[in-house]
Structure 1
Amino acid sequence: MSDRYTVISADCHAGADLLDYKPYLEKRHHDDFDAWAATYVNPYEDLLADTADRNWNSERRVTELAADGIVAEVVFPNTIPPFFPSASLMAPAPTREEFEQRWAGLRAHNRWLADFCSLAPGRRAGVAQILLNDVDEAVKEIRRVKAEGLTGGILLPGAPPGSGVPELYSASYDPIWAVCEELDVPVNHHGGSASPPLGDEPAARAVFMVETTWFSHRALWHLMFGGAFRRHPGLKLVLTEQGSGWIPGVVEMLDYYHDRLVAAATKAVGATAATAESKFGAGLAASMGRGPSEVWRDNCCVGASFMRPHEVPLRHRIGLDKIMWGCDYPHDEGTTPYSREGLRIAYAGLAREEVAAMAGGNAARVYGFDLALLDRLAAVHGPTVEEIAEPLKEVPAAATSPAFAPGGSVRVW
């Protein structure tokens, strides 16, 4: 048995430099791309800084992650795809007029990502992007990116109020769930991707911080109560960078409402006067199937980015086989270059097999990484078991990740 951990970050971000997307667009979009790029003003300071190339400089990225003890990564988007007003993770849903160009932009990103992942064979699981406006096109793209070798699954866009697309519990998305089940493609829902626009008032940023994770959590109960997992029992849902401490309480709450509605509807069968609650629950058991806690156990995982110490005592209630640590490279809130310290502050004192599962084993299983390959890399770059077992006594002065924030409590939503 190796004396080092094989660390896989289940949450990293990448994308091409703006103009480098052009070769990945179909030629019929090149003139429009030139016009768009000529007037585009990037809204993100980190994508204009001298460190922006961490998003697309493969050699730099491999070197920095390896120095941080990380040998593989799940790669979510970060930079601006063609024809988008902002990063696609946060961009509003396209209008009918924008739809074709936005799809072209996402396909360009997916093509670029496949090439980017190929530069570090076996070390990157790229997460492809889709739109929900056209389910048939989404299914075609899922098949295409799977064939191109992207193993990170798809990024499920949010459907915030006012988005103009059906809510995620809608059966209209069944073809997407079906192809993901068929091809063993994880469905990833990333924090920050489902909030409605809040405007430019001074309080908007604070309100966003309070509400953004809740809006991302909604995908969990939408798919559960919508019956997606009953109709597609092999479907895998991963909730990433949304924290993890909220999960036990929310799943218990969902069980409560599920049981209450199903029980009321069952008792009302044959009764002359049904209660309002029984009407709400009518058909739920048949359409949903298993209860929320069973669905969580069988179908769901959490990308627990920079897992914080107050979340760790809940690991058995969340499920040790569900938790996938992530460093969030190259974001400021990520743990790089202090990921060893981030692992220590969370996992020091835990059993070796527990740390191995959360730090890399679970991600290898969910995303299909070859552990034999990664174990060989970890034998050189991975943090030692002894190192991670040592409690962190002093937070690095330059650390900016919430993983190192003092105090903290378990979120209830």
Structure 2
Amino acid sequence: MIPGTRRVLIASDTYPPDVNGAGYFTHRLAAGLAARGNEVHVVCPSPDGPAGRETRDGVTVHRLRSHPLLLHPTMRFVVPAAVNRAIREVVTAVAPDVVHVQGHFPVGRATLKHAARVGIPTIATNHFMPDNLLHHVKVPTRLRKWVASRAWRDAAAVFARADHVTTPTRLAAEVFRDNGFTGHIEPVSCGIDLSRFHPRSTSATAARARLDLPDRKTILFVGRLDEEKRVHELIRALPSLRRRVDAQLVIAGTGPQGPALTRLAADLGISAYVRFLGFVPDADLPGVYRAADLFAIAGVAELQSIVTLEAMASGLPVVAADAVALPHLVRNGHNGFLFTPGDIDGISTRLEVILESADEIAAMGAASRAMAAEHDHARSLARFEEIYTHLAAPARSRI
């Protein structure tokens, strides 16, 4: 390590090629810190089973032997009986100045526990919402509230071991406190790279042509096609909207709900106006946002929603569910509108108000971009570095 640099170990139970918000955030955090001169290590499950080590984007990634997670179609896990030894070996080899844990599942839990045992300062960031996992578990509806409560209690107990706790938004912090966490929580935005995501400089027509999309008013959703994303509500809102506006819905993402959503569009007779792009590589996402006129999201388990921030940075108005942290990003009548989850007519009406006016699209899009600037990725990285420095100083003074 170069004298004067900071050595950070980030522990996460999900990391690319996993496709989810926590995994993407962890990668952006690690690569961003490395680009700022830190020595960064990540410990996470292997994407295909065998353990290994690789260096990518300036980050050393320590992959732990993993197994398929039967409750989730794409994620993998490290056996609890083996994770403690593996983490001990990684922490000993890396000897970090600070450990940053991204959750309370096996890898994060074991890393937090071992770091505290050997006196390494710790920070933990919560991305967890029970709704993101419960739909994969065959739990009777009448028991879901009880299971969610137990899950929150477990997360709170694990995070109580950390020296500093963050979560992406103020509203997300309130949710965690309301569900049992009694310590201090600092909101630190996941951040957005404003140099990558910005308003289009060419026409929407040209951007749509590059994606082989018809040239009509375009509503965009980006994300996993999982139950809690409630993409079916956006599809159901389209027939009513189309009676007044020549609009299409473009969906970028994959997931277990994909086949059902395709069938729903067919059953409603709107298959020609619902386009499924499938998985879009991160490098290509800016071009997808630039093909849209408006971003819509109906999810009810968003602690921040990186895709909404990306859409805002791209200069798009937003129509979003009035749930969890989305109201933190959408101000009614300013950069878009909120709707009550499940209110299909409400979605349609709000989409229409924006799409029927080019001036409304432009004004709300500009407001979105200005709001997104408050979440500049560089600002978030700088704050995390400040936290690391503050935590590591007492540890260094004991050496």
Global fold match (TM > 0.5): no
Report which of the two has the higher share of strand.
Answer: 2
TM-score by length of 1: 0.30
Q: Which has the higher contact order (CA 8 A, sep 6+)?
A: 1
Normalised TM-score (structure 2): 0.31
